[in-house]
A and B are shown apart, each in its own frame.
Chain A
Amino acid sequence: MSQEQKSWKEIPIAGVCWKPATEYPTGDWRTFKPVRDPEKCTRCLLCPMICPDSAITWNKTTEDIEFNYDFCKGCGICANECPVEAIKMVREGEA
């Protein structure tokens, strides 16, 4: 949630967003966290494509898959779809 609380006179009408969605870290909604086993992972790049929050990306520097936990809501689609079962969903605080 936004820290700054504006009055009705200051905000755009109709709920028009005046800030990008990246200013709202939605990762704190997560109960289960995807944890990847880099040994099992084949870097097939299926998970970056299917992540509904675009929270999985290819890091060109490290040349590896990267999870952005600020925006991963823990839906588990990546773990479900991973062809080599390299992603496990682990309860927050237990990983």
Chain B
Amino acid sequence: MATIQQKVLALNGDEAVALAVKQSDVDVVAAYPITPQTIIVERFSEYVADGEVDTEFVCTESEHSALSACLAASATGARTFTASASAGLALMHEILYVTSGCRAPVVMAIANRALSAPINIHCDHSDSMVERDSGWIQIYAENSQETYDSIIQAFRIAEHPDLLLPVMVCLDAFVLSHTLENVAILTDKDVLKFVGKRQIPLVTGHEGRKVPFKLDPDNPITMGPLDLYDYYFEHKRQQEEAMRKAPEIIRQIHDEFAQLSGRKYGNSLVDAYRLEDADVATVCVGSTAGTTKTVVDQLRTKGVKAGLLRLRTFRPLPVTNIMKALENVKAIAVMDRSNSFGGHGGPIFHEIRHVLYDSKSHPYVVNYIYGLGGRDMPQNIIRSIYEDLQEILETDQVKSYVQFAGVRE
């Protein structure tokens, strides 16, 4: 399938992101460093200093300012990128909504890290899961190769004239961000051709004329002004409509990239692994899927009909794909690397169980909170979760719907 030249480099996830951004003809990067994202902007600032890119690099005094600068740059029609994690993403919270509301197609890499307190720099998904309602597309990568590929695709997705939605590409802290992996790299020319120039659609401006949707002194427009009970709701409905169009556009861009690179990630929205005849399955996002695939393979050799569903996009939630992929599975364990304190399980569990309420098969759906603050998720714990699912099927009983995998009791 691959038709073009690629070379393989040993890169960690952060370096892969920086390289993808370098190749994607980005106009503005505004960022503030935070572990474990720092390598991304550090490496990118080296490209700027060495004259390898002509990107405007803005060093800001906080993440709130970094995203504000990106929003402003993006509003002028610039291709814009930033990166953050944990407390940095939390500080951006206000501007995340302003960015999506202004339909500014900013792309951001999130090196998923736990939220304080106690302070912890390691992986969990608390930082991005809390932003699931902010109007950003969320893509969770399984490995550094997918991170590299997803960043390149993300610019096309975000800037698509039917979407104009900001995109987060999430990679697991340290497991991906700081771990060397062989990553196949496209040539600069091929990436440049794939991402192209940012297309600016027309909107109706304040004189009733069609003008480019960007801040431009020659064709002035106003974005995101005071919008009360008479029109705010309509503008939010437009954002939802863009999200509803997103799955098809994400799939098209993913497939086009697959033609170029030879690399596919499930159907772009979900990655269904050995699910066709599975009785028991787990659902997760991120790098844990890699370990789980190994466990599934081992269980299959022992005759256990095990499978895995990895969500690649969490926003938009691929509802029909989830239903279809899990329609014949009898017991499902949803794996959440974040917790909703006082809720009934974690955020992915909420969605999966909610979607399956309408499924005809009515499977058992249980939840495991795991890996908080970088707690390792080894094969034996994943295996024990599949054993729990088998026990549920054997006994027709669920002992507990929400459990904690890997915590000392």
**A→B interface (CB under 8 Å):** 1-2, 5-8, 11-21
Question: Which among B152-160, B222-230, B368-376 touches the partner chain?
Answer: B222-230
| Chain B residues numbered 217-259 whose CB sits less than 8 Å from any CB in chain A | 221-225, 227-228, 230-231, 233-235, 237-238, 241
Given A8-B237, A8-B241, decide whether A16 and B230 contact each other with a Cβ distance below 8 A: no
- Please determine whether B235 and A8 come into contact, CB atoms closer than 8 angstroms: yes
CB distance from B314 to the nearest CB of A (A): 23
- Please determine whether A11 and B234 come into contact, CB atoms closer than 8 angstroms: yes
- Please determine whether A1 and B206 come into contact, CB atoms closer than 8 angstroms: no
- Please determine whether B205 and A18 come into contact, CB atoms closer than 8 angstroms: yes
Assembly CA distance A73 to B266 (angstroms):
58
Residue from A1, A17, A21 having most chain B Cβ neighbours under 10 A: A17
Q: Which of A2, A14, A18 contacts B102 (CB 8 A)?
A: A14
Chain B count of residues within 8 A CB distance of the other chain? 26
Tell me how many residue pairs across A and B have CB atoms closer than 8 Å: 67
Q: Does B203 contact A (CB under 8 A)?
A: yes
Residue of A nearest to B239 (CB): A13
CB distance from B226 to the nearest CB of A (A): 9
Q: Which of A2, A17, A21 contacts B221 (CB 8 A)?
A: A17
Q: Which of B208, B224, B235 contacts A19 (CB 8 A)?
A: B208
Assembly CA distance A18 to B210 (angstroms):
9
Q: Which of B205, B208, B233, B235 contacts A13 (CB 8 A)?
A: B235
Assembly CA distance A6 to B231 (angstroms):
8
- Please determine whether B234 and A8 come into contact, CB atoms closer than 8 angstroms: yes
CB distance from B105 to the nearest CB of A (A): 11
List, sorted by A's number, 22 A–B pairs whose CB atoms are closer than 8 Å. Answer: A6-B234, A7-B234, A8-B238, A11-B238, A13-B103, A13-B164, A13-B203, A14-B164, A14-B203, A14-B223, A14-B235, A15-B101, A15-B102, A15-B223, A15-B224, A15-B227, A17-B206, A18-B203, A18-B206, A19-B206, A20-B206, A20-B207
Residues of B within 8 A of A5 (CB): 230
Assembly CA distance A8 to B242 (angstroms):
12
- Please determine whether B224 and A14 come into contact, CB atoms closer than 8 angstroms: yes
Assembly CA distance A76 to B230 (angstroms):
29
Residues of A within 8 A of B101 (CB): 14-15
Q: Does B213 contact A (CB under 8 A)?
A: yes
- Please determine whether A15 and B208 come into contact, CB atoms closer than 8 angstroms: no
Q: Does B204 contact A (CB under 8 A)?
A: yes
* A14-B224, A18-B208 known, 6 other contacts, Cβ within 8 Å: A11-B234, A12-B205, A14-B213, A15-B235, A16-B205, A16-B222
Q: Which of B103, B204, B230 contacts A2 (CB 8 A)?
A: B230
Q: Which of A7, A15, A20 contacts B225 (CB 8 A)?
A: A15
Residues of A within 8 A of B238 (CB): 8, 11, 13
Residues of A within 8 A of B203 (CB): 12-14, 16, 18
Residues of B within 8 A of A17 (CB): 205-206, 221-222, 225
- Please determine whether B225 and A11 come into contact, CB atoms closer than 8 angstroms: no
Given A8-B238, A21-B206, decide whether A16 and B231 contact each other with a Cβ distance below 8 A: no
Residue of B nearest to A23 (CB): B206
Q: Which of B223, B237, B241 contacts A16 (CB 8 A)?
A: B223
Residues of A within 8 A of B241 (CB): 8
Residues of B within 8 A of A13 (CB): 103, 164, 203, 213, 235, 238
Residue of A nearest to B224 (CB): A15
- Please determine whether B231 and A12 come into contact, CB atoms closer than 8 angstroms: no
Assembly CA distance A8 to B232 (angstroms):
10
CB distance from A27 to the nearest CB of B (A): 16
Assembly CA distance A68 to B306 (angstroms):
75
Assembly CA distance A11 to B238 (angstroms):
9
Residue of A nearest to B222 (CB): A17
- Please determine whether B234 and A14 come into contact, CB atoms closer than 8 angstroms: no
Residues of A within 8 A of B213 (CB): 12-14, 16
Assembly CA distance A8 to B240 (angstroms):
11
Residues of A within 8 A of B234 (CB): 6-8, 11
- Please determine whether B207 and A16 come into contact, CB atoms closer than 8 angstroms: no
Residues of B within 8 A of A21 (CB): 206
